Amino acid sequence: MIGTGTIVNTAAIVAGGLLGGFFKNGIPEKYKEIIIQGVGLSVMIIGISGALQGIFVVGPDGAISRCCIMTMIFSLLIGGVIGELFNIEGRLEQAGLWLQGRFRGGGSVAEGFVVATLLFCVGAMSIVGSIEDGLTGNASTLYAKSILDCVLAAVLSSTMGYGVLFSAVSVFLYQGAFTLLAGVVKPWLTDAVISQVSVVGSVLILGIGINMLGIKKIKTGNLVPATFIPFVYYLILKLIEK
Protein backbone atom coordinates (compact mmCIF):
# COMPACT_ATOMS: atom_id res chain seq x y z
CA MET A 1 0.00 0.00 0.00
CA ILE A 2 1.32 3.46 -0.93
CA GLY A 3 2.40 5.41 2.15
CA THR A 4 3.26 2.38 4.28
CA GLY A 5 6.96 3.25 4.19
CA THR A 6 6.43 6.62 5.87
CA ILE A 7 4.13 5.11 8.51
CA VAL A 8 6.71 2.43 9.37
CA ASN A 9 9.48 5.04 9.42
CA THR A 10 7.50 7.25 11.80
CA ALA A 11 6.80 4.32 14.14
CA ALA A 12 10.48 3.31 14.09
CA ILE A 13 11.58 6.79 15.19
CA VAL A 14 9.05 6.79 18.04
CA ALA A 15 10.19 3.32 19.16
CA GLY A 16 13.86 4.27 19.03
CA GLY A 17 13.24 7.58 20.77
CA LEU A 18 11.34 5.93 23.62
CA LEU A 19 14.03 3.28 24.04
CA GLY A 20 16.85 5.81 24.11
CA GLY A 21 14.97 8.10 26.49
CA PHE A 22 14.37 5.18 28.86
CA PHE A 23 18.10 4.56 29.19
CA LYS A 24 19.04 8.25 29.29
CA ASN A 25 19.51 8.57 33.04
CA GLY A 26 21.45 5.32 33.22
CA ILE A 27 24.22 6.44 30.84
CA PRO A 28 27.15 8.34 32.43
CA GLU A 29 27.91 11.72 30.87
CA LYS A 30 31.30 10.66 29.49
CA TYR A 31 29.66 7.82 27.55
CA LYS A 32 26.95 10.12 26.21
CA GLU A 33 29.67 12.40 24.82
CA ILE A 34 31.53 9.62 23.04
CA ILE A 35 28.25 8.20 21.71
CA ILE A 36 27.22 11.51 20.15
CA GLN A 37 30.71 11.90 18.69
CA GLY A 38 30.47 8.45 17.16
CA VAL A 39 27.07 9.27 15.68
CA GLY A 40 28.40 12.60 14.40
CA LEU A 41 31.30 10.89 12.62
CA SER A 42 28.96 8.28 11.17
CA VAL A 43 26.60 10.97 9.90
CA MET A 44 29.54 12.78 8.25
CA ILE A 45 30.62 9.59 6.47
CA ILE A 46 27.05 8.97 5.26
CA GLY A 47 26.92 12.50 3.89
CA ILE A 48 30.34 12.34 2.22
CA SER A 49 29.72 8.93 0.64
CA GLY A 50 26.29 9.97 -0.64
CA ALA A 51 27.65 13.17 -2.18
CA LEU A 52 30.62 11.46 -3.82
CA GLN A 53 28.41 8.68 -5.16
CA GLY A 54 26.29 11.22 -6.99
CA ILE A 55 29.14 13.47 -8.13
CA PHE A 56 31.49 10.84 -9.58
CA VAL A 57 30.10 8.76 -12.42
CA VAL A 58 31.78 5.75 -14.02
CA GLY A 59 31.37 5.75 -17.79
CA PRO A 60 31.05 2.72 -20.12
CA ASP A 61 34.81 2.81 -20.72
CA GLY A 62 35.53 2.76 -17.01
CA ALA A 63 36.56 6.40 -16.91
CA ILE A 64 35.38 8.47 -13.95
CA SER A 65 33.73 11.82 -14.65
CA ARG A 66 32.12 14.44 -12.46
CA CYS A 67 28.59 15.77 -12.65
CA CYS A 68 26.15 17.91 -10.67
CA ILE A 69 28.93 20.16 -9.30
CA MET A 70 27.53 23.45 -10.59
CA THR A 71 23.96 22.43 -9.83
CA MET A 72 25.00 21.55 -6.27
CA ILE A 73 26.81 24.87 -5.77
CA PHE A 74 23.96 27.02 -7.09
CA SER A 75 21.37 24.93 -5.22
CA LEU A 76 23.18 25.51 -1.92
CA LEU A 77 23.62 29.22 -2.60
CA ILE A 78 20.06 29.89 -3.77
CA GLY A 79 18.50 27.52 -1.24
CA GLY A 80 20.53 29.08 1.56
CA VAL A 81 19.34 32.56 0.70
CA ILE A 82 15.72 31.37 0.58
CA GLY A 83 16.10 29.54 3.88
CA GLU A 84 17.70 32.58 5.50
CA LEU A 85 14.92 34.80 4.17
CA PHE A 86 12.25 32.61 5.79
CA ASN A 87 14.47 31.77 8.80
CA ILE A 88 13.62 28.07 8.62
CA GLU A 89 16.13 27.02 11.25
CA GLY A 90 14.92 29.70 13.64
CA ARG A 91 11.32 28.58 13.17
CA LEU A 92 12.30 24.97 13.83
CA GLU A 93 14.07 26.05 17.02
CA GLN A 94 11.00 28.06 18.06
CA ALA A 95 8.83 24.99 17.53
CA GLY A 96 11.24 22.97 19.65
CA LEU A 97 11.23 25.58 22.42
CA TRP A 98 7.42 25.65 22.31
CA LEU A 99 7.40 21.89 22.80
CA GLN A 100 10.00 22.18 25.54
CA GLY A 101 7.77 24.60 27.43
CA ARG A 102 4.98 22.02 27.48
CA PHE A 103 6.89 18.78 27.91
CA ARG A 104 9.50 19.08 30.60
CA GLY A 105 12.03 16.29 30.51
CA GLY A 106 15.73 15.58 30.56
CA GLY A 107 17.90 17.38 28.05
CA SER A 108 16.93 20.07 25.61
CA VAL A 109 13.68 19.28 23.82
CA ALA A 110 14.40 22.02 21.29
CA GLU A 111 17.86 20.72 20.46
CA GLY A 112 16.71 17.12 20.13
CA PHE A 113 13.75 18.11 17.97
CA VAL A 114 15.78 20.28 15.57
CA VAL A 115 18.75 17.92 15.19
CA ALA A 116 16.58 14.83 14.71
CA THR A 117 14.16 16.56 12.32
CA LEU A 118 16.98 17.72 10.06
CA LEU A 119 18.84 14.42 10.22
CA PHE A 120 15.78 12.30 9.40
CA CYS A 121 14.29 14.60 6.74
CA VAL A 122 17.02 16.05 4.52
CA GLY A 123 18.70 12.83 3.50
CA ALA A 124 18.59 11.34 0.03
CA MET A 125 16.87 8.21 1.34
CA SER A 126 14.02 10.31 2.72
CA ILE A 127 13.30 12.04 -0.59
CA VAL A 128 14.05 9.21 -3.00
CA GLY A 129 12.37 6.60 -0.80
CA SER A 130 9.19 8.67 -0.50
CA ILE A 131 9.09 9.23 -4.25
CA GLU A 132 9.54 5.50 -4.94
CA ASP A 133 6.75 4.72 -2.50
CA GLY A 134 4.43 7.23 -4.15
CA LEU A 135 5.20 6.21 -7.73
CA THR A 136 5.36 2.43 -7.46
CA GLY A 137 4.31 1.47 -3.94
CA ASN A 138 7.82 0.08 -3.36
CA ALA A 139 8.77 1.16 0.16
CA SER A 140 11.95 -0.93 0.49
CA THR A 141 14.17 2.17 0.71
CA LEU A 142 12.05 3.64 3.49
CA TYR A 143 12.04 0.32 5.32
CA ALA A 144 15.86 0.33 5.29
CA LYS A 145 15.82 3.96 6.42
CA SER A 146 13.45 3.01 9.24
CA ILE A 147 16.03 0.67 10.71
CA LEU A 148 18.74 3.32 10.57
CA ASP A 149 16.44 6.00 12.00
CA CYS A 150 15.34 3.74 14.84
CA VAL A 151 18.95 3.24 15.93
CA LEU A 152 19.81 6.92 15.51
CA ALA A 153 16.66 7.99 17.40
CA ALA A 154 17.62 5.75 20.29
CA VAL A 155 21.16 7.15 20.42
CA LEU A 156 20.04 10.76 20.05
CA SER A 157 17.28 10.56 22.66
CA SER A 158 19.70 8.92 25.11
CA THR A 159 21.83 12.07 24.91
CA MET A 160 19.39 14.85 23.94
CA GLY A 161 16.16 13.72 25.57
CA TYR A 162 12.60 13.13 24.38
CA GLY A 163 12.62 16.05 21.97
CA VAL A 164 13.79 13.51 19.41
CA LEU A 165 10.36 11.87 19.56
CA PHE A 166 8.64 14.93 18.12
CA SER A 167 10.76 14.67 14.98
CA ALA A 168 8.53 11.72 14.04
CA VAL A 169 5.76 14.23 13.28
CA SER A 170 8.09 16.15 10.96
CA VAL A 171 9.08 12.95 9.16
CA PHE A 172 5.47 11.88 8.75
CA LEU A 173 4.43 15.23 7.22
CA TYR A 174 7.59 15.70 5.11
CA GLN A 175 7.83 12.22 3.62
CA GLY A 176 4.08 11.91 3.36
CA ALA A 177 3.96 15.08 1.26
CA PHE A 178 6.60 13.71 -1.12
CA THR A 179 4.71 10.44 -1.44
CA LEU A 180 1.42 12.16 -2.24
CA LEU A 181 2.99 14.59 -4.69
CA ALA A 182 5.06 11.94 -6.48
CA GLY A 183 2.21 10.97 -8.78
CA VAL A 184 1.58 14.60 -9.75
CA VAL A 185 5.20 15.41 -10.65
CA LYS A 186 6.03 12.00 -12.11
CA PRO A 187 6.67 13.28 -15.67
CA TRP A 188 9.45 15.58 -14.40
CA LEU A 189 11.21 13.23 -12.00
CA THR A 190 14.04 12.05 -14.22
CA ASP A 191 16.99 10.03 -12.91
CA ALA A 192 19.20 13.11 -13.36
CA VAL A 193 16.94 15.27 -11.18
CA ILE A 194 16.73 12.65 -8.43
CA SER A 195 20.52 12.23 -8.52
CA GLN A 196 21.06 15.98 -8.16
CA VAL A 197 18.60 16.17 -5.27
CA SER A 198 20.41 13.27 -3.59
CA VAL A 199 23.78 15.02 -3.90
CA VAL A 200 22.48 18.22 -2.30
CA GLY A 201 20.74 16.24 0.46
CA SER A 202 23.96 14.34 1.21
CA VAL A 203 25.87 17.62 1.56
CA LEU A 204 23.32 18.77 4.13
CA ILE A 205 23.79 15.50 6.04
CA LEU A 206 27.52 16.26 6.14
CA GLY A 207 26.67 19.66 7.61
CA ILE A 208 24.59 18.01 10.33
CA GLY A 209 27.55 15.80 11.26
CA ILE A 210 29.78 18.88 11.53
CA ASN A 211 27.22 20.50 13.85
CA MET A 212 26.97 17.40 16.04
CA LEU A 213 30.74 17.35 16.51
CA GLY A 214 30.79 21.04 17.40
CA ILE A 215 33.28 21.84 14.64
CA LYS A 216 31.28 24.74 13.22
CA LYS A 217 27.67 25.88 13.52
CA ILE A 218 26.12 25.45 10.08
CA LYS A 219 22.50 26.54 9.57
CA THR A 220 21.50 23.31 7.89
CA GLY A 221 17.84 24.11 8.46
CA ASN A 222 18.15 27.23 6.30
CA LEU A 223 19.81 25.13 3.59
CA VAL A 224 16.90 22.68 3.29
CA PRO A 225 15.32 24.60 0.34
CA ALA A 226 18.47 23.73 -1.63
CA THR A 227 17.14 20.17 -2.06
CA PHE A 228 14.29 21.51 -4.21
CA ILE A 229 16.38 23.75 -6.47
CA PRO A 230 17.46 21.01 -8.94
CA PHE A 231 13.80 20.18 -9.58
CA VAL A 232 12.87 23.85 -10.07
CA TYR A 233 15.86 24.31 -12.38
CA TYR A 234 14.75 21.35 -14.50
CA LEU A 235 11.22 22.75 -14.77
CA ILE A 236 12.56 26.13 -15.90
CA LEU A 237 14.66 24.45 -18.61
CA LYS A 238 11.61 22.56 -19.85
CA LEU A 239 9.58 25.77 -20.05
CA ILE A 240 12.37 27.51 -21.97
CA GLU A 241 12.61 24.62 -24.42
CA LYS A 242 8.91 24.99 -25.19
**What is the predicted pLDDT for the residue at 25?**
65
Buried/exposed code over 61-86 (b: 16+ C-beta within 10 A; e: otherwise):
eeeeeeebeebbeebbebbbebbeee
Give the model confidence (pLDDT) of 189-213 as tens digits: 777 887 888 888 888 888 888 988 8
- Which is more confident, 54 or 222? 222
CA end-to-end distance (rounded Å), the chain = 37
Mean pLDDT on 185-192 = 75
Q: Do residues 166 and 32 touch, judged by C-beta distance below 8 A?
A: no
With left for phi above 0 and alpha for psi between -120 and 50, is residue 163 left, alpha or beta? alpha
Is pLDDT at 235 greater than 80 in this prediction? yes
Please list, in sequence order, all residues whose beta carbon lies within 8 angstroms of the beta carbon of residue 151, skipping any fewer than 6 positions away.
16
Note whether 143 and 8 are within 8 A (CB).
yes
d(C-alpha 102, C-alpha 88), whole Å: 22
**pTM for the full predicted model:** 0.76
Which of 123, 125, 131 lies closest to 189 in space, CA to CA? 131
Confidence (pLDDT) at 106: 44
- Under 8 Å between Cβ of 6 and 175: yes
Coil/strand/helix, residue 1: coil
More confident residue, 85 or 219: 85
